[in-house]
Structure 1
Amino acid sequence: MSAMKRHSVLTGLLTGTIACLTAFGYCASRSAVDGSAATPAVTITVSAAASLQDVLEALTPQFIATHPEIAAHYNFGSSGSLQRQIEQGAPVDVFFSASAEQMEALDDQGLILSTTRRDVVGNHLVAIAPLDSTLEASDLTQLKTAAIDHIAVGEFRSVPAGRYAEQVFATLNLLEPLQSKFAFGNNVRGVLSAVESGNADLGVVYATDAALSDRVKIVATAPAESHQPIRYPVAAIASSVQPEAARAFIAFLQTNVARETFTAFGFAPVPSDD
């Protein structure tokens, strides 16, 4: 992850947070709490897509400042794996997904409080290569003839970024020609890591993830019409034992300070008629 880019985005936003995420894997991180502050009376668990890790950690101090009585414990991973954990009864209060598909699956099972569901932000999909790569493909269709051995993508079934990538490749008639070159990651940060390390010649990630690294470059942007709109919905879990605190967290995500922070990290605003 880029120290320079990360610093430029986080300056004035992030103080004293704990970050951890394994490449191609899953982990949890706890919110940073000022030791001098009063002990929060309530703790909520927020299961959030891996691509939201940096921005949520940046928002943590602001959330604590406005809700000192609530501590947020974050669970980061692919939206698909987080969905399965909730279905299996994991003690989660808020689900913040990178795709509507996982949220709708939980809604169909009555596992979320539908009235709390909101689309918070959007994103864009880009193709990235190692910074020193000579690959040039301003148009994704050029990948068909490019000298590429490995293309890192998220799992098509469980990782929203992977599902969007599959849609792009299918729309551009590239899915079959490139099939043998795909290397699948368990989350979008794993895909980014594979390209950063040079283990993949190309990767497909969100624009916000690409912006955090100075070890990769964007070689092409997926046409918006080649995939479903990228939306990040959030909702409280029906089994939450802290529903009011969960609602407070969701409301905070829609405040001006939260919107400004999402924008600073490169997330796209959701159209007002959504």
Structure 2
Amino acid sequence: MKKKFSILTLALCLMLGAVGCSNNSSSSSSSNASSAASSSGDSSEKVELNISAAASLQEAMVELEKEFKNINPDVKLTVNLGSSGSLMQQIQEGAPCDLFISAGAKQMDTLVEDGTVEKDAVKTLLTNDLVLVAAKGEKVDSLDALKTDDVEKIAIGDPESVPAGKYAKEVLDNTKLYDNVKDKLVLAKDVKEVLSWVQKGNADVGFVYLSDATGVDDVDVVLTTDDDSHSEIAYPVAVLKDSKQAKVAQQFEDFLLSDTAQNILEKHGFNKVK
């Protein structure tokens, strides 16, 4: 009887062991399959591309991003907009950025000088025009009108960090108006804030890019400044030297320079690269 019981016990242990091995094998197979699936799925995971771009590109960038995603659906664009000076400082302090679009050469040149960007990598993306805008109904029709009592506040971007503000100051200097209107100047953090102040009546007039005023109904473009009254308004673009997504960033830059993207930029008031 004891012998039979021992045999039954042994058989039961063998059966349980077989089941355990089967479960372990199944678990191992499942784990391997999951690992393989994860590995094979890497190719379809989205690549995040960090773009730092001048605030004046805000509206155009929405359409550019949509068009680029039609071509590269697996690329996620994270766009950081701001004044070129602020963006430059963020990049220098280690903020994630794969591609930089500045509204002025000064900021890009600084990144070239400190080794963040290769000099040969810099290209001109587009050009722009500087215009004087006024709230509808304002009695301003020339630069000389800025000296009159009809204009109490003139909004410009901070010349130290905002390229549009730098160009505006150049215009005022070169037309001998600066000393007459310097007490009327109010400095904004970027060109979009300048436009907003004029729209809300916080400033009588402001200097912005033509692209900023394009399609805006509640301001009038009083005049377009002469090209020889300020430095050339060109937007340089470059992939950062240490970009972890350099290949994809280069693809986005090539797209920006394509006819498709250039047509979009022109529609938003920018000038195509010649």
Question: TM class by shorter-chain length?
Answer: 0.7 to 0.9
Q: Distance in 1 between matches of 2:186 and 2:271?
A: 28
2:205 matched to 1:202? yes
Superposition TM-score, scaled by structure 2 size? 0.82
2:114 matched to 1:132? no
1:201 Cα shift? 0.6
2:260 matched to 1:262? no
Higher RCO, 1 or 2 (CA under 8 Å, sep at least 6)?
Answer: 1
Q: Check whether the contact 1:116–1:247 (CA below 8 A) recurs between aligned residues.
A: no
Q: Distance in 2 between matches of 1:55 and 1:40?
A: 27
Superposition TM-score, scaled by structure 1 size? 0.82
Q: Distance in 1 between matches of 2:254 and 2:54?
A: 18
2:144 matched to 1:141? yes
Q: Distance in 1 between matches of 2:199 and 2:236?
A: 29
1:109 Cα shift? 0.6
SS at match of 1:205: strand
1:118 Cα shift? 1.1
Q: Distance in 1 between matches of 2:99 and 2:118?
A: 10
Q: Which runs of 5+ in 1 are unaligned?
A: 1-37
Q: Distance in 2 between matches of 1:216 and 1:108?
A: 39
Counterparts in 2 of 1:40-119, with a 5 A limit? 40-119=45-124
SS at match of 1:90: coil
Q: Check whether the contact 1:153–1:191 (CA below 8 A) recurs between aligned residues.
A: yes
Q: Distance in 1 between matches of 2:145 and 2:192?
A: 25
Q: Distance in 2 between matches of 1:266 and 1:96?
A: 17
Q: Distance in 1 between matches of 2:117 and 2:215?
A: 32
SS at match of 2:66: helix
Q: Which stretch shows the higher mean deviation, 71-80 or 237-246?
A: 237-246
**Structural RMSD (CA):** 1.4
Q: Distance in 1 between matches of 2:121 and 2:252?
A: 11
Q: Quote the residue 2:174 is aligned against.
A: 171
Q: Check whether the contact 1:155–1:187 (CA below 8 A) recurs between aligned residues.
A: yes
What whole-Å deviation, never above 9, does each CA across 1:141-199 have from its counterpart, x for those lacking one? 33223521111100010000000000000000011110000011000000000000001
Q: Distance in 2 between matches of 1:221 and 1:118?
A: 26
Q: Check whether the contact 2:134–2:140 (CA below 8 A) recurs between aligned residues.
A: no
Q: Distance in 2 between matches of 1:49 and 1:227?
A: 19
Q: Distance in 2 between matches of 1:39 and 1:265?
A: 33
Q: Distance in 2 between matches of 1:131 and 1:150?
A: 15
Q: Check whether the contact 1:191–1:203 (CA below 8 A) recurs between aligned residues.
A: yes
1:39 Cα shift? 6.3
Q: Which amino acid aligns with 2:97?
A: V
Q: Distance in 2 between matches of 1:92 and 1:249?
A: 13
Q: Quote the residue 1:244 is aligned against.
A: 247
Q: Distance in 2 between matches of 1:265 and 1:239?
A: 31
Higher radius of gyration, 1 or 2:
2
1:119 Cα shift? 0.4
Q: Check whether the contact 1:40–1:68 (CA below 8 A) recurs between aligned residues.
A: no
Q: Which amino acid aligns with 1:136?
A: V
Q: Distance in 1 between matches of 2:231 and 2:46?
A: 41
1:129 Cα shift? 0.7
Q: Quote the residue 1:151 is aligned against.
A: 154
What whole-Å deviation, never above 9, does each CA across 1:101-120 have from its counterpart, x for those lacking one? 10001001110133332101
- Identity, % of aligned pairs? 38
Q: Which runs of 5+ in 2 are unaligned?
A: 1-42
Q: Which amino acid aligns with 2:113?
A: D
1:200 Cα shift? 0.3
Q: Check whether the contact 1:127–1:203 (CA below 8 A) recurs between aligned residues.
A: yes
SS at match of 1:98: coil
Q: Distance in 2 between matches of 1:151 and 1:63?
A: 38
Q: Distance in 2 between matches of 1:113 and 1:265?
A: 29
